[in-house]
Every structure is written in structure tokens, then in C-alpha cells.
Amino acid sequence: MRLRVATYNIHRAVGSDGRTDPNRVAEVLRELDADIVALQEVGFGDELPGELLDHLGRSMRAQVVEGPTMHDQRGHYGNAVLTRLPIGAVRRLDISVPGREPRGAVLLSTTADDVTVDLIATHLGLRPAERRGQVRQLLKRVERSTAQVRILMGDLNEWFLWGRPIRWLERTFDRRAAPATFPARRPWLALDRLWVTPPNALERLYAHDSPTSRRASDHLPLVGELRIASK
């Protein structure tokens, strides 16, 4: 059984050229043709809640799971998951640190054929101490899961390849290459990450680099192609 998943920081649909254009993000999602996409920096408008997400969900024929983390003058803002697979249990985890920007994670259980999959989609903080605490919380959730396949993905904001959060994640998920995804026009930082266990289920990991993805956001999407043995 094959499964394609992706994580994508859409930057409120503000592109690398400074223009806001949700249609470009929708075009990138169609290019990805993924079964599940974790989104970060999603704007949820007050007047029309979910309008952007509904539009993006329709663009890839997927269901929408919202995960707002904060509210500002432009409305709610945060994470989301778009999935073509059936939605099982959904939880929203607050991993915020007092005095810092609120952060969260969406925990989603699903099945692909007869394979159980648990997914964590997240966006971590900017300071190293924040990320250390947040990764500890998320790894506890991974360890509790009994699903056959466990996926953790999102914008980890981790600049240091040798940082403790990365080392802890590698102990759980195994070491993988980290394709650069930021900034979109000329990426050199691997801020976006995608981890899978069992490790041999992840056949390919790559940044989706296309003319539209270089303009649609300040991040490129990170894509994982999985091959999973059924029971």
C-alpha cells in the first residue's frame, strides 16, 4: 500500500513575492496529489470561518481538520490537516510556552486500507528551549500510539541539525536526510520535517520545487512517499 503525505507552511497564503493568493496554494496542493497534508500558518477569517481551508480542501478533494492556535486582528490562525483518508479520532494538543506565541498540534488517527496510521501535525516555537519542551510532549504521544504507522510532521523551526530536539527525534524515528525547504526561492534551511516509524516505510523524502511552489509561500512543501505492508 502506498501513501503520500506532505507538510506545508503556507504563510497565510502570502507568497515569496509579497502577494496574497490562496489560488496559488491550491495549485501547489493539486501538484502534490497527496493523501494527507499538514498545513501551518493558516489564516481563519472571522467573518467567513474556514473559507480558506474549505477552498484548499476542495482543491485536493479532501476533508478539513482545523487546529487554530491563536487569534489576532485578522482572525484565528494556526494549523490544519487536509486528508483524503477517513477521519478517526482527532485531538488538538496545546504545546504553548507562557509568554511566547501559542503553539499546538493536531493528532489524527486514520486507516489506509487495513493499516492504522497515527499522525501528528505541528508548528514548533522559535526559541530552542520552547522546542525542547514541545518535542518531549510530542514524543510522549508517539510512544503511546499503538498504530502500525506513526507520522510526525510540520514546521519544526529547528535551525540546528545537531540540536537536542533533532537528536531525540532521530532516536525514535531513525536518521533521515533533511531536504531544505526555506526560503522557497532558494532553499538552504531544513525547517520543515517529516518523520515516520517504522523507518523503512518511508521510501522517498523530497522538497516539492515547482514554479508555483516557489511563489505561493515562503516555504516549499516537504513530501514523503510511504510504502506500507498490509496485515
**pLDDT value for 176:** 79
**pLDDT value for 216:** 98
Each residue of 63-112: pLDDT tens digit?
Answer: 999 999 998 777 778 999 999 999 999 999 999 999 999 999 999 999 99
C-alpha 144/C-alpha 100 separation (Å) is 27
Cβ neighbours of residue 40 closer than 8 Å, sequence gap 6 or more: 7, 8, 9, 10, 78, 79, 123, 154, 155
**pLDDT value for 75:** 72
pTM: 0.95
Cell of 32: 502534490
Strands 2-9 and 36-44: parallel
Cell 514548533 appears where? Answer: 124
Q: Is the pLDDT of residue 46 over 70?
A: no
**pLDDT value for 1:** 86
**pLDDT value for 50:** 62
**What is the CA 156 to chain-centroid distance, rounded?**
9
> What is the CB neighbour count within 10 angstroms for residue 19?
11
**pLDDT value for 45:** 65
| Summary mean pLDDT of the chain | 93
Each residue of 123-153: pLDDT tens digit?
Answer: 999 999 999 999 999 999 999 999 999 999 9
Q: Coil, strand or helix: which one is 5? A: strand
**For residues 30-35, average pLDDT:** 98
**pLDDT value for 118:** 98
**pLDDT value for 47:** 47
Q: What does 147-203 look like in DSSP terms, one character per residue?
A: -SEEEEEEE-----TTSHHHHHHHHHH--------BSTTS--B--EEEEEESGGGEE
**pLDDT value for 69:** 94
CB 88 within 8 A of CB 118: no
In this prediction, residue 49 has a pLDDT band, given cuts at 50, 70 and 90, of very low
C-alpha 186/C-alpha 42 separation (Å) is 23
Each residue of 12-21: pLDDT tens digit?
Answer: 999 999 999 9
Domain 2-227 falls in which CATH fold? Deoxyribonuclease I; Chain A (3.60.10)
**pLDDT value for 193:** 97
Burial class (CB in 10 A: 0-12, 13-18, 19+), 75: middle
Each residue of 164-216: pLDDT tens digit?
Answer: 999 999 999 988 789 999 999 999 999 999 999 999 999 999 999 999 999 99
Cell 496545546 appears where? Answer: 94
